[in-house]
Chains A and B, each alone.
Chain A
Amino acid sequence: MSSKKRVAVFFGGISPEHDISVISGLQALHAIDTVKYNPFPVYISRDGTWFVGEQLFDKSCYIPDVAMCKKLTPVRLSLDPKDKGVLFPVHKSVFGSSKHYTVDIALPVFHGRIGEDGSIQGVFETAGVPYAGMRAMASSIFMDKDVTKSLLKSINVPHLGCHVVKKPIEGLLLRSREIEQIKSAVKFPVCIKPAHMGSSIGVSRISNIDELIAVLPRIFTYDNKVILEPFVDNAYELNISVRNGPEGIVTSAIEKPLRHSDLLDFKQKYLSENGKNGVKTASSQGMISLTREVNPAIDSHVEQQIRSWACQVFDVVDGTGAPRIDFIADAQSNEVWLNEVNPTPGSLAFFLWEQAATLTTFTQLLDDLLTEAVMLFDGSSTHEDPVPLEARILKR
């Protein structure tokens, strides 16, 4: 029996960012130190089926078609904490007992809703499985841009204000009353962003109310809330990752994504290949294929602000994992605003750690995250009877 810890790498999922999650997940799967761990993939299909199987190690398997799915084993995670994380086959063997898959540590590599937003983290907590990354609460907060801004306001971290537009209960079209409200409250141009989606999906510059009315129904098919932020001319982005180090919070290198238009959209973020026109290919390397400048020459005060605010926002939620924190800066005024926090960034932002002050491999980063997962789990209080003495009413 191997003494290596079994690490289940979860990816895919019911999310607009399913495909990029597969890329990030496979990168992590192959980068985990196999001398120390025994990693295996758990792919969640777009319809929510959980699969395990040797074939899932192979990039060419994705997205599994019907024939491939027959070779894979659909599984369910036991939510009984006494099982301590076991994946059982959905279909029982004809001969009774079926092979089950032990999960010592879960590494969720989902992007977007149902995975990055705290929901899967909640499942792991219920099931009693140590998991890497941000905790459920932090994930939920940061996967809602509107709620994130409220948190930033409470700790005085500069951010752009926003106007929230919610999907009408009746359908995709705004009511005239809501349109009038936007007209009076919002000054165009604005930057529209789905509130719960990452990877810059659905992000665009909106010049007037007619454009907004035209674009909203499509975004509402993916998200039930959008935010409208003031559009910053001369803006550029600066991203940084944060995590816990042995002696406190540490920050990564800073990246400045390069772009060819007003906004860095999904295609530029994930499908650009060294500046060539993005063509969707199976060989896309996720965030690492993005054209970027790492450790760019920036004003030292701006750099200091970014590092300080990134630590502050990580700390306020008792941060874990290695989220990427994105900032917007005004090239003329040097003003900086915290834009968003990505609990599970594309490629887990390993390229930012590789270029950090201390030479850190992706494998080392993952080892640190997995070690943290076990420490958090071991440190969580467990009592035989969860009801404290003073709250016990019923006879034991």
Chain B
Amino acid sequence: MMNEVSTMGHPLSYRSLGLPSSDNTTQLVWGHGWMHTHSALAPLADFFSRKYSNILLDFPGFGSSPMPSSVWGTRQYADHVASWLQTVPKQSRVWVGHSFGCRVGIQLAAHYPELIDGLFLIGAAGLPIKRSILGSAKIKSKIFTYKLLKRIVPTTALREKLGAYFGSRDYATAGPMRPIFSAVIREDLSDVAKTVECPVFLVYGEMDTETPVSMGDAFSKLFRRATLVRLPHFGHVDILSDGMHQLRHHLLHFMKECSL
């Protein structure tokens, strides 16, 4: 069952799982990926429900949480959730993020270090993808062609179709969230990551093309206390389902290593 709070003048929906939040419990806060909802992480979280307090968020604009009234970046998403987490009791807290949810977690840990004791990041996004010269040229030519055609095409509907054709799947399906998507996708969290002090566990699927392992390599050099694990045979999304057991295993060990 979903709960709703209003914080910073904007509603935030979430689902509680497992032990109730208290000063004696370790809490796991689950931040989902772009175009997902809390339910994408629920099977993973379910395992931890006997021993931990779990909060599964629906970020504004996803699931039960209404869209932000302006164009938010991940810093605004972090500010929003922080203003509520400051009121939630806990002994210690680990942020578990997937993709976009990792961006928010990194911002949160960097700007509100008192709220987060560990980051467990799955397919973390937030850095520019390193491409080969050929790959880079392909992307540039794609953008150039799109911008050129957009000027020629007269109607909004046709421009939408062009966007869907040339843009990424997330861009094409973003709908009214597209301005936020465009803002988020341009963010480079390199400098933010450098200021994160808590331990960070990074997991990437070796078949992930959206947030490739190279991004994990780069992140692991930016965070002060990072561990990187590569899981073969998994992509960006199926890592949550087929890779679920290994993720649970690593998260449990991460919690133990952090004495949480």
Question: Does A31 contact B245, Cβ atoms closer than 8 Å?
Answer: yes
Q: If the complex has contacts A34-B231, A34-B232, are A363 and B50 also in contact, measured as CB distance less than 8 A?
A: no
The interface-forming segment of B154-162, B186-194, B246-254 is B246-254
Question: Does A361 contact B233, Cβ atoms closer than 8 Å?
Answer: no
User: Which residues of B219-260 have CB atoms within 8 Å of chain A's CB atoms?
Assistant: 229, 231-234, 242-243, 245-246, 248-249, 252
Question: Does B249 contact A361, Cβ atoms closer than 8 Å?
Answer: yes
Chain B residues near A35 (CB, 8 Å)?
A: 229
Chain B residues near A59 (CB, 8 Å)?
A: 242
Convert A32-61 into 0s and 1s, putting 1 for each residue whose CB lies closer than 8 angstroms to a CB of B: 111100000000000000000000010100
Whether a CB of chain A sits under 8 angstroms from the CB of B51 is yes
Count residues of chain A with CB under 8 A from any CB of chain B.
17
Whether a CB of chain A sits under 8 angstroms from the CB of B47 is yes
Closest chain B CB from A234 CB (angstroms): 31
**Residue in A closest to B241 when the chains form the complex, CB atoms:** A30
Closest chain A CB from B72 CB (angstroms): 35
Whether a CB of chain B sits under 8 angstroms from the CB of A273 is no
Q: If the complex has contacts A30-B242, A359-B51, are A57 and B249 also in contact, measured as CB distance less than 8 A?
A: no
Chain B residues near A354 (CB, 8 Å)?
A: 47
User: Considering residues B51, B231, B232, B248, which has the most beta carbons from chain A within 10 angstroms of its beta carbon?
Assistant: B248
Closest chain B CB from A178 CB (angstroms): 49
Measured in the bound complex, the distance between the Cα atoms of B186 and A269 in whole Å is: 49
Question: Does B47 contact A31, Cβ atoms closer than 8 Å?
Answer: no
Question: Does A359 contact B252, Cβ atoms closer than 8 Å?
Answer: yes
Closest chain B CB from A62 CB (angstroms): 14
Chain B residues near A27 (CB, 8 Å)?
A: 245
Which residue from A30, A32, A361 sits with its C-beta under 8 Å from B248? A361
Whether a CB of chain B sits under 8 angstroms from the CB of A355 is yes
Question: Does A361 contact B252, Cβ atoms closer than 8 Å?
Answer: yes
Give the dominant DSSP class at A's interface: helix
Chain A residues near B51 (CB, 8 Å)?
A: 359
Whether a CB of chain B sits under 8 angstroms from the CB of A231 is no
Measured in the bound complex, the distance between the Cα atoms of B241 and A27 in whole Å is: 10
Closest chain A CB from B251 CB (angstroms): 9
User: Which residues of A311-344 have CB atoms within 8 Å of chain B's CB atoms?
Assistant: none
Which residue from A355, A359, A361 sits with its C-beta under 8 Å from B245? A361
Closest chain A CB from B203 CB (angstroms): 10
Measured in the bound complex, the distance between the Cα atoms of B234 and A117 in whole Å is: 33
Chain A residues near B234 (CB, 8 Å)?
A: 30
Whether a CB of chain B sits under 8 angstroms from the CB of A364 is yes
Question: Does A33 contact B249, Cβ atoms closer than 8 Å?
Answer: yes
Closest chain B CB from A90 CB (angstroms): 25
Q: If the complex has contacts A30-B242, A30-B243, are A364 and B50 also in contact, measured as CB distance less than 8 A?
A: no
Question: Does A363 contact B233, Cβ atoms closer than 8 Å?
Answer: no
Question: Does B50 contact A33, Cβ atoms closer than 8 Å?
Answer: no
Whether a CB of chain B sits under 8 angstroms from the CB of A11 is no
**Residue in B closest to A366 when the chains form the complex, CB atoms:** B245
Closest chain B CB from A74 CB (angstroms): 22
Whether a CB of chain B sits under 8 angstroms from the CB of A131 is no
User: Which residues of A217-253 have CB atoms within 8 Å of chain B's CB atoms?
Assistant: none
Question: Does A57 contact B50, Cβ atoms closer than 8 Å?
Answer: no
Question: Does A30 contact B246, Cβ atoms closer than 8 Å?
Answer: yes
Report, nearest first, the 5 A-B pairs whose CB atoms are least far apart: A363-B249, A31-B245, A362-B245, A361-B249, A30-B242
What is the interface of chain A, defined by CB distance below 8 A to chain B?
27, 30-35, 57, 59, 350, 354-355, 359, 361-364
24 contacts between A and B (CB under 8 A): A30-B233, A30-B242, A30-B243, A30-B245, A30-B246, A31-B246, A32-B246, A33-B246, A33-B249, A34-B231, A34-B232, A57-B233, A350-B245, A354-B47, A359-B47, A359-B51, A361-B47, A361-B248, A361-B252, A362-B245, A362-B249, A363-B248, A363-B249, A364-B252
